[in-house]
Amino acid sequence: MSTFQAPKGTYDLLPPDSAKFLAVREAIAAPLRNSGYGYIETPGFENVELFSRGVGESTDIVSKEMYSFETRGGDKLALRPEGTASVLRAALEANLHKLGNLPVKLWYSGSYYRYERPQKGRYRHFSQVGAEAIGAEDPALDAELIILADQAYRTLGLRNFRILLNSLGDKECRPVYREALQGFLRDLDLDEETRRRAEINPLRVLDDKRADVQKQLVGAPVLRDFLCDACKAYHEEVRALITAAGVVFEDDEKLVRGLDYYTRTTFEFVHDGLGSQSAVGGGGRYDGLSEMIGGPALPSVGWALGVDRTVLALEAEGVELEVPATTSVFAVPLGEEARRILFGVVTELRKAGIATDFAFGGRGLKGAMKSANRSGARYTIVAGERDLAEGVVQFKDMESGEQTALPLEGIVEAVRSRLG
C-alpha cells in the first residue's frame, strides 16, 4: 500500500469499473456528435472572477465550495466548479460567435471540483459531460438539448428518471417577481445568512433544502404568475416541442437550479433511486451570461450530466452495460524462440486493428492462461518449440474451449476472419 491516498472526497477510476464510466461518457456524447456539436476542452482552472461573476457570488458553489488559490505571480485562480462559464469564455476568446454560423454548438467532458461534504453521489471531484448552444434564442434549441439528454439516458437503458421543467422569466419580468418574493421573505423567520442571500438573489432561497425553510415557503409567490407574455409563449413552445417528441416531463414551479445565470427555460433530470442526491443532470437557458463576463449579448442554452451519478442510477436500476472487451486475442509464448516470434505476431495483429495482449514476464502456461481469462480475451494463441517447428500456433476459443492448429504464415488474416 502507498504512503499516500486519494484526497478526501475524491476517487480513482480503475478497471473494470472505469469501463462503465467510459461507456456512459460515450453514450451521452454520441447523440451530441450526431447533432452538430463539436468537442471543446478547457483548462482545469480559470480566473476566479469568471465564476464569481458568472455562477454568482450568492451561490453556495462560489461562496462555500470553490477551490480558489493565488499563484506565485499573484493571479487569483479557481479549480473549475462547473463547465458552462469556461466553455463560453473559450468561445468568446476564440471569436467563434463571429464566424457567422450561430448557434455555436459545443460539447465537453471533464472533471470538476467543489468542496462538498463527501457522501455517496456527492464528491469533491466529479465527472460531467456537457453541451452548450451559444448565440441563438430559439425554443427549438432548448427542446433539442432536452431531447438529446433524454435520448442518451434511454440509450444507456435508464428508465426511472424524471425531467423537471420550469421557466425563470427574463430581465423584463423577473425583477417584478424578485421584488414580490423579497417582500414575502422579509416576513419569515430566517437566519442571517439566508436573509443576506435573499437580498442578493431571493430565488436561491427557494432552492434551500432545509425542512424548516421549506415549511415557511408555503404560500410564496410563484414565478409562473409573473411571467411576461413573451416568456409564457416561449415556455409553452418548449413544452409543446418536447411533448411532440414523446419526451415526458413534469412542471416544477420551484425549480431554480444552483447557478445564478439561468433565464427562461430551466430543467433537471432526477432519479428517485439515488436518495437525497437525486439530480443526475440539468441545465437551462442563460441569455445574460456572456454580458456578465464581458462579452456581447449571446443568448445561449446548455446542460451538464453527471457521469458519476448516471453510473449510480444505472446500478440502482440493475442495468448492466455491454462493455466491449479490451482484449480480443491473448498470445502465450512457451520458450524464448516462441516469445520472439509471437511478440512479432502481436505487433502485426495490433497494426491490423485487433485488440491483442501478450503474456509478459515469462510465466508458465497455467499462469498465462489465467491472465488471458482475466483480460476477457475471446481467443488465445499459444506456441511452443514443437508448434514452431511445424510452422503452426494453437488457436483456442476461450468460450467453447475448442483448440485448432493454424499456420503461422497468414495468422493475421486467419484471426481477422474468425473475429468477423
Binding residue ranges:
82-84, 114, 128, 132, 257, 261-262
Q: Which position has the grid cell 498470445?
A: 331
Q: Give buried/exposed letters for 370-393 (b at 16+ CB in 10 A, else e).
A: ebbeebbbbbbbbbbeebbeeebb
Report the distance separating Cα 222 and Cα 220, nearest Å.
6
Edge to edge, the sheet with strand 104-113 lists 38-39, 104-113, 125-134, 300-306, 279-285, 263-271, 161-167, 250-251
Other Cβ atoms less than 10 A from the Cβ of 342: the count is: 24
User: Whose CA is closest to 241, among 133, 143, 138?
Assistant: 143
CA angle at 87 for the pair 109 and 12, rounded to the nearest 5°: 30
Partners of 400 in the beta sheet? none
Report the distance separating Cα 302 and Cα 82, nearest Å.
12
Partners of 356 in the beta sheet? 329
- DSSP state, residue 267: E
What residues are designated binding site for L-histidine? 82-84, 114, 128, 132, 257, 261-262
